[in-house]
Structure 1
Amino acid sequence: MFCYQCEQTAKGQACDKMGVCGKAPETSDLQDLLVYVLRGISVVALEGRKVGLVNQEADRFVAAGLFSTLTNVNFDNTRFEGLIAQALELREALKKEVAAKGGATEYSQPPVNWTPAVDVRPLAEQAEGFGLDRDHSDNVDLKSLQHLVLFGLRGVAAYVDHAYLLGQEDEAVYTGIHEGLAAIYEDKDLGAWVAQTMKVGEINLRAMELLDAANTGTYGHPVPTEVPLGAKAGKAILVSGHDLKDLKSILEQTEGKGINVYTHGEMLPCHGYPELKKHAHFHGHYGTAWQNQQKEFAAFPGAILMTTNCIQKPSTYIEDIFTTGLVGWPGVQHVKNGDFGPVIEKALAMPGFAADEDKGSVMTGFARNAVLGVADKVIEAVKGGDIRHFFLVAGCDGAKPGRNYYTEFVEKVPQDCMVLTLACGKFRFFDKKLGDIGGIPRLLDIGQCNDAFSAIQIAVALAGAFECDVNDLPLSMVLSWYEQKAVAILLTLLHLGIKGIRLGPSLPAFITPNILNFLVENFDIKPISTPDEDLKAILG
């Protein structure tokens, strides 16, 4: 195996024996083979578009397939073997459709023609030759950009899949995904590959816009909401991941059954959505970020449902946890989306919480409508000198040392400054009581990583109000990354021309020194240093 797509990759270089995430070499190889075949589908899909053929099944499958290879989504080899078989069948059918329309009948690109060997070797063994260290440019800088495009597209695919499940999609985004996957077989120089990375940022902006429309159009715009951190006596189900539709289904199917539903990880912002919070048994939030789940899940006295990425190897609770959608772990019961009967049965059979627990509360629900609803007060506070600076401290959390930087940074932000946050990086400081400025909380939780679109819209609206560029706002971005959705969001920010981003806790292993220099020179992107040094550099 060769995998360096996440921040915690072994020795800061690459996992080549066993994934730090728990991914076995065979699983890694099967993921790489799946992506290889998906690239073949994309080549054919683009040929189809030349003759007016758009195959929605192929478009959606490529997005879902890419999403399944995102860090901490699926670890089940059997599932990947099924996806590869489905991909091959879909590719061959699409080739016939394109030919029937008068399009290409032959292809020179290897992934369009690859098929498994007919001997008895396992598919995982045949997959060994398709790793990230193969079939890419020998030029290390070109390879770096190729992988930046691939990892960014995996993040885009996650948002696309979420939006599609709620009825929102855009052919232009699917075309962008196909173009990125097929680009490796085109004769592109360094400048063209830089443009390709910016294209990923562009289509991710649209994908996040679609998902925002899907979530708010279905469940309403989030409103500021106080969320209990303690438990309520009774049976319990814990929902983790990111998927709002799965949570809504759980809430509907548990109505009147005496089961309280709790969120975990990035599901915390769900408490702010009107159509979700109206369920009386939607009680509160349990636990913190994804990397703490093995300890937190083991102590949870109810059933657990993983809806999207972030799953870790289950321990003593393997009989109590379920996966759905694209998530998978060997030995964990998988349930179809929306069919949560087994989860409910398990919850009813388990003891639940014996008594009420008061562990305080946190606020969430400060998405763009909520923040822009008090924009006049914010603008007045800035002009009056009550608010000196805004900090967007956001991104992914993780177990690797160095992430305490973000806790310390927020604790040291001066009292006349606001902190906006989103994604699971917030769990380093989400329960800090930072007070308020003129009645506006100093710590505003915008939502999930999926809600980066809201943060962008807030920044754009403030820039319009102050009649300046976003880069001229008293706003600094201090971001943490872990997986590929963070990569996609970073590319979106660069596509929008955002400069001066501080990134940590370490820089991506797949970024070469020359590409890093390009990012520094063109976007003033910086690695984090220490909270004191960074605050001094920003505020003077």
Structure 2
Amino acid sequence: MNSAEMFCHQCQEAAKNTGCTVRGVCGKTSDVSNLQDLLIYALKGISAYNLEAKKLGINTNKTDRFITDGLFATITNANFDKKEFVNRIKTALYLRQEIKEEVIKAGGKVEDINNDSTQWFADSEESFEEKAKLIGFLSIENEDVRSLISLITFGLKGLAAYTEHAFNLGYEDEEIYTFIQQALVDTLDATKTADDLVALNLKAGEVGVKAMALLDKANTSTYGHPEITKVNIGVGNKPAILISGHDLKDMEELLKQTDGTGVDVYTHSEMLPANYYPAFKKYHHFIGNYGNAWWKQDKEFESFNGPILMTTNCLVPPKPSYKDRVYTTGAVGFEGLTHIEINEDGTKDFSVIIEHAKKCQPPTEIEKGEIIGGFAHNTVLSLADKVVDAVKSGAIKQFFVMAGCDGRMKSRDYYTDFAQALPNDTVILTAGCAKYKYNKLDLGDIGGIPRVLDAGQCNDSYSLAVIALKLKEVFELNDINELPISYNIAWYEQKAVIVLLALLHLGVKNIHLGPTLPAFLSPNVVNVLVENFGIGGITNVEDDIKMFLG
């Protein structure tokens, strides 16, 4: 691992756009970063035996879910708890042995499953830390191979996140689990060429579309299709709980358990789209959304006054002044915070948070008004005739997909300026927390169609793909790239990576990524993406708008 204490280059804020080597910009310590790498290595060992078990008809659901959840826990800003990763690695080694023994009992051959990830064993924190220094990304000497393996690994993390949200609602697909595990094993195959790894990344995009479709089905079958909704961004006068992250199952349980308790519920950041689902609108104590994107939570959690439930990333290491009010669940973790575990029957008990909320002051108001959203594919397709007429008449000249993530960097103000500078005959299609750069601007509408159409969370980028494919069909085009749609996407973490791979699989070209291209892309890999897919970066608002509008 060279002389660096750690090496993490998975997010957009990687130090010097190269990699964090002492401490993560996110706040992740070097030991946690290294243990995350080792957990993934252990998951590769389980995967090797798991794939053989599947061939033999052995039920692998327990290990499937463990692998998926383990990948999710290593995503940026999800879990900072060192003890949690030590325990996960110990469990991983136990499960690896368990599934290996099941394969042997079923008559399977394990002699051919013989690589270091399937054989190494240690049982102490010190041994884990030593092993972790040997298996990180810098152990891959070839820069281009390292780049492509990084790309697939980070795509798998995003894929695992969406897969976990779906299985939390009872929706699973064996093919997705199998692909994740085969791809993990393939990253250890020294015979894989750069072309093989490019193909593997594109396959990840194909499976990413499948996973996002599965999650969309899970969400809409359970809670109804999102509806056009005006969301209150002011506050009430009762004590309240703030729920952040992405997991709608946690949202449902929290609303049920707080009903009639005198405690209100507000969404934060990526949980905002929960306001659009019909099933949640019956709860009168569901007041609206509080605050903005994840990176402002150090101020907004302070002023909220009540407890906060983090269901997924993105968690900013909490300040001592409000740390006792932050609770975690699922893949999220931070030393010193109370973690809500899942019960054997699949439920969670949020009573400790509810009782905490009753002792707190109501939220301090930080803004007033409403924001509009709920433009997922079902809603937009119901407006298809209106949209098509607007395009044909010239009222709408261009759509801009500005999905993705927000972040701390000042350079991200570009996206606010870009949205404001777009001509009045353009419409922004968005999903993910990137929306917070412009969803509170008064950009008006075009014939009743708002100029910012929010499809929902980052995983709802699937909706934007469905919309594009439907428009391609309506306009009888042969190529999705003939549509008047431009892609100017802000990225931050690994869920954005699987969305990018999914768009590439669907044949979308000329996607622009910012505020920087990923640190893990080598110059040669960037050239491949440019030559084959037209991937580009951003420059400045004026020049970029001229470029996009031709």
Question: Which whole-Å CA distance do the structure 2 matches of 1:53 and 1:276 have between them?
Answer: 39
1:442 maps to what in 2? Answer: 451
Question: Which whole-Å CA distance do the structure 2 matches of 1:192 and 1:261 have between them?
Answer: 48
String of CA shifts for 1:466-496, please: whole Å, max 9, x gaps.
0112110000111011100000110111111
1:292 maps to what in 2? Answer: 296
Give the secondary-structure state (helix, strand or coil) at the position aligned to 1:15: coil
Residue 275 (structure 1) aligned with residue 279 (structure 2): yes
Question: Which whole-Å CA distance do the structure 2 matches of 1:377 and 1:336 have between them?
Answer: 47
1:473 maps to what in 2? Answer: 483
1:124 maps to what in 2? Answer: 129
1:100 maps to what in 2? Answer: 105
Residue 43 (structure 1) aligned with residue 51 (structure 2): no
1:112 to 111, 118, 138: 118
Offset, 1:212: 0.4
Residue 427 (structure 1) aligned with residue 436 (structure 2): yes
1:496 maps to what in 2? Answer: 506
Question: Which whole-Å CA distance do the structure 2 matches of 1:519 and 1:132 have between them?
Answer: 21
Question: Which whole-Å CA distance do the structure 2 matches of 1:212 and 1:48 have between them?
Answer: 29
Question: Which whole-Å CA distance do the structure 2 matches of 1:263 and 1:308 have between them?
Answer: 13
2:25 maps to what in 1? Answer: 20
Q: Please say if residues 244 and 311 of structure 2, whose CA atoms lie closer than 8 Å, have aligned partners that are also in contact.
A: yes
Residue 326 (structure 1) aligned with residue 331 (structure 2): yes
String of CA shifts for 1:30-80, please: whole Å, max 9, x gaps.
111100000001111122233333411111111000000000111111111
Give runs of aligned pairs for residues 308-327 of structure 1, distance below 5 A. 308-315=312-319, 316-327=321-332
Offset, 1:126: 4.4
Q: Please say if residues 394 and 422 of structure 1, whose CA atoms lie closer than 8 Å, have aligned partners that are also in contact.
A: yes
Give runs of aligned pairs for residues 72-221 of structure 1, distance below 5 A. 72-106=77-111, 107-116=113-122, 121=126, 123-134=128-139, 136=140, 138-186=141-189, 187-221=191-225
Give the secondary-structure state (helix, strand or coil) at the position aligned to 1:378: helix
Q: State the TM-score, normalizing by the size of structure 2.
A: 0.95
- Return the letter of the residue paired with 1:181: L
1:245 maps to what in 2? Answer: 249
Offset, 1:132: 2.0
Q: Please say if residues 153 and 177 of structure 1, whose CA atoms lie closer than 8 Å, have aligned partners that are also in contact.
A: yes
Residue 223 (structure 1) aligned with residue 223 (structure 2): no
- Return the letter of the residue paired with 1:110: D
Offset, 1:400: 1.7
Residue 386 (structure 1) aligned with residue 395 (structure 2): yes
Question: Which whole-Å CA distance do the structure 2 matches of 1:191 and 1:487 have between them?
Answer: 19
2:351 maps to what in 1? Answer: 341
1:411 maps to what in 2? Answer: 420
Give the secondary-structure state (helix, strand or coil) at the position aligned to 1:222: coil
- Return the letter of the residue paired with 2:60: N
Give the secondary-structure state (helix, strand or coil) at the position aligned to 2:399: strand
Offset, 1:452: 1.1
String of CA shifts for 1:171-219, please: whole Å, max 9, x gaps.
1101110111000232111111110000111111111111101100100
Question: Which whole-Å CA distance do the structure 1 matches of 2:61 and 2:329 have between them?
Answer: 23
Q: State the TM-score, normalizing by the size of structure 1.
A: 0.97
- Return the letter of the residue paired with 1:175: T
Give the secondary-structure state (helix, strand or coil) at the position aligned to 1:99: helix
Offset, 1:125: 4.5
- Return the letter of the residue paired with 2:427: M
Give runs of aligned pairs for residues 513-528 of structure 1, distance below 5 A. 513-528=523-538
1:56 maps to what in 2? Answer: 61
Give the secondary-structure state (helix, strand or coil) at the position aligned to 1:444: strand
Question: Which whole-Å CA distance do the structure 1 matches of 2:535 and 2:281 have between them?
Answer: 39
Question: Which whole-Å CA distance do the structure 2 matches of 1:476 and 1:169 have between them?
Answer: 33
Q: Please say if residues 271 and 277 of structure 1, whose CA atoms lie closer than 8 Å, have aligned partners that are also in contact.
A: yes
Residue 463 (structure 1) aligned with residue 468 (structure 2): no
1:352 to 362, 385, 390: 362
Q: Please say if residues 236 and 363 of structure 2, whose CA atoms lie closer than 8 Å, have aligned partners that are also in contact.
A: yes
String of CA shifts for 1:271-306, please: whole Å, max 9, x gaps.
000001221110011110111100111111111110
Q: CA RMSD in A?
A: 1.4
Moved more, 418-427 or 183-192: 183-192
Offset, 1:117: 5.5
Give the secondary-structure state (helix, strand or coil) at the position aligned to 2:103: helix
Give the secondary-structure state (helix, strand or coil) at the position aligned to 2:349: coil
Q: Please say if residues 224 and 366 of structure 1, whose CA atoms lie closer than 8 Å, have aligned partners that are also in contact.
A: yes
String of CA shifts for 1:72-94, please: whole Å, max 9, x gaps.
11111111111111111111011
Question: Which whole-Å CA distance do the structure 2 matches of 1:121 and 1:482 have between them?
Answer: 32
Offset, 1:403: 0.5
Residue 508 (structure 1) aligned with residue 518 (structure 2): yes
- Percent identity, aligned pairs only, is 49
2:345 maps to what in 1? Answer: none
Gaps of 5+ in 1: none
Give the secondary-structure state (helix, strand or coil) at the position aligned to 1:319: helix
Aligned residues: 536
